[in-house]
Amino acid sequence: MRTIPPELVRRYEEAGWWTRETIGDLLARGLREAPDTLFRVHSAVRPWSGTFRDVERVARRLAAGLRDRGVGPGDTVVFQLPNWMEAAAVFWASSFLGATVVPVVHFYGRKEVGYILETVKPRVFIGPESFGRLEHQADLFADVPVVGVVGRDFDDLLADEPMEGVLAADPSAPCLIAFTSGTTSDPKGVVHSHRTLGHETRQLAGLYPPDRGKQLTAAPVGHFIGMVNAFLIPVLDGTPVNLADVWDPGQALALMKSDGLTVGGGATYYVTSLLDHPDFTPGHLPYMKYAGLGGSSVPSAVTTRLEDLGITVFRSYGSTEHPSITGSRYTAPVDKRLHTDGDVLPGVELRLAEDGEILSRGPELCLGYTDPALTEAAFDEDGWYRTGDIGVVDEDGYLTITDRKSDVIIRGGENISALEVEEALLGMPAVAEAAVVAAPDARLGEHAAAVVRLRPGHAMFSLEEMRAHLEGVGLARQKWPEELREVADFPRTASGKVQKFVLRRSLQDIAVRST
């Protein structure tokens, strides 16, 4: 883990941004204050309805069962579950125990999950028997001491009597490891403490309008923001939890009318897919009063479209490492809300390097990575984080992201490692060189585009042939490029490196000409 300068620790403690409260303490207090708040899962395969009290009882029975099996503070609990009640129970139980919880997105396959297990060496793994393409593979978890499978033997882990209270833990110690795709072929393990995650929960909750309504959360709880929105902020605020285990715009529109639910934003795709669905009518707009957008590229064309429909748009910028760097309040001037990524949030500091790279630090900045080499590369001794993004700051202090140094494509809020896809493409006999970059997408913000240089004597292959190859090597479907282009050679630096920013700009130009 990185060393946090003592003066920053003092500043964060004196301002009240860092407290002695653990995530388990935060949850226990919130659940005690609002036990009758509704908790529902809208699912075709595992629907559930109850209250915070009901979920907490399952969580505390699980905590007692895991404690009986030797699990406690400092141990690691991995779960790979859809947006089900059991995911909340596992997260809350781990927090009560003072364990480090590792949520894993449900579409990660054997390669990614195997890497995560090898990295964190958990005491516990909990997943589903099956969900979509996900199937439980017992051999993968042979070295994990405690394994529970929802839909088979999960209930066997529950003790008869719930655990009381919260086990003591160091608030500055790790409480969460969030794995996210990045510039490396393997997912990056981002480590957060009780203090950084607690501040982020309060910070993000403070950005939300007080009249936002009953939110539907369909973003996977294996993602950092989906997890915070589903399992922490509602408990902090005492607001209902409504989960969907798949994103179905038709279902979301129906739930607006039947249950009065709202969709308040996220990645642009969650909003645009509603507007473009054949079931959408002007009668749904009262349930879409706000759209807080982030987690991916946010085109101005999208924000303007939403504003013209009477939806109040506000944008934010952050990452799993530093979740809330900037954000526009819903009360900010229209031009700032629509066309910038907001100004710095309380406690956050931001500066631009000579090349325009955004450097940030603040009380919600992570402790570092599970890989020490990544930690050393991303943080300096003064506590600044190198985001890998390029931006400009206007005279009012509002930031706008203009480019990305890192090779990460953010498709509908999901990170895709360009390097991982490139390595898979290089397994095709015809490919001499491959570059994968972000291309503009009106629905998803951006998607992956593959640009290839062929070996002599080989003919260009089709998008379908490329996808068949990627499926054959086991690459998750969400990572497959949605555009394919051939070049005789790439634009390069003097040292021969591919200039990906030139490729991105050429794809942007094509998108503009085609609209």
pLDDT tens figures, 100-110: 999 999 888 88
Q: What is the mean pLDDT of the chain?
A: 92
Domain assignment of residue 474, yes or no: yes
Of 246, 263, 286, which residue sits at a domain end?
A: 246
Task: Find the CATH number of the domain harbouring 231.
Answer: 3.40.50.980
Taking residues 99-122, report their average pLDDT: 93
pLDDT for 125-157, tens place per residue?
999 999 988 899 999 999 999 999 999 999 999
Of 359, 379, 406, which residue sits at a domain end?
A: 406
Task: Find the CATH number of the domain harbouring 348.
Answer: 2.30.38.10
Question: How many residues does this entry show for the chain?
Answer: 515
Strands 399-404, 385-393: pairing is antiparallel
Task: Tell me whether residue 165 is exposed, middle or buried, using C-beta atoms within 10 angstroms of its C-beta: 0 to 12, 13 to 18, 19 or more.
Answer: exposed
Domain assignment of residue 281, yes or no: no
- 330 plus 429 within the same structural domain: no
Residue 33 has pLDDT above 90, yes or no: yes
- 363 plus 449 within the same structural domain: no
Three-state SS annotation for 175-223: EEEEEECCCCCCCEEEEEEHHHHHHHHHHHHHHCCCCCCEEEECCCCCC
Question: What domain range is 390 assigned to?
Answer: 1-17+313-406
How many domains does one find in the chain? 3
What sign for the dihedral angle of Cα 14, 17, 21, 25? Answer: positive
pLDDT for 394-418, tens place per residue?
999 999 987 677 777 888 888 887 8
Q: Which residue bears the tokens 């645009």?
A: 272
pLDDT for 456-501, tens place per residue?
899 999 999 999 999 999 999 989 999 999 999 888 754 456 878 7
Q: Which residue, 381, 315, 375, 324, is CA-closest to 349?
A: 324
Predicted model pTM? 0.83
- 354 plus 439 within the same structural domain: no
Domain assignment of residue 416, yes or no: yes
Domain assignment of residue 143, yes or no: yes
pLDDT of residue 295: 65
Task: Find the CATH number of the domain harbouring 427.
Answer: 3.30.300.30
Domain assignment of residue 294, yes or no: no
By the 8 A CB rule, do 207 and 329 touch? yes
Beta bridge partners of 316: 327
Of 229, 246, 263, which residue sits at a domain end?
A: 246
- 180 plus 237 within the same structural domain: yes
- 384 plus 478 within the same structural domain: no
Taking residues 187-207, report their average pLDDT: 95
Cα-based angle 69, 226, 161 (whole degrees, multiple of 5): 30
- 414 plus 396 within the same structural domain: no
Residue type, 56: E
- 471 plus 337 within the same structural domain: no
Rg of the chain (C-alpha set): 23
Domain assignment of residue 74, yes or no: yes
Domain assignment of residue 335, yes or no: yes
Domain assignment of residue 287, yes or no: no
- 165 plus 47 within the same structural domain: yes
pLDDT of residue 442: 84
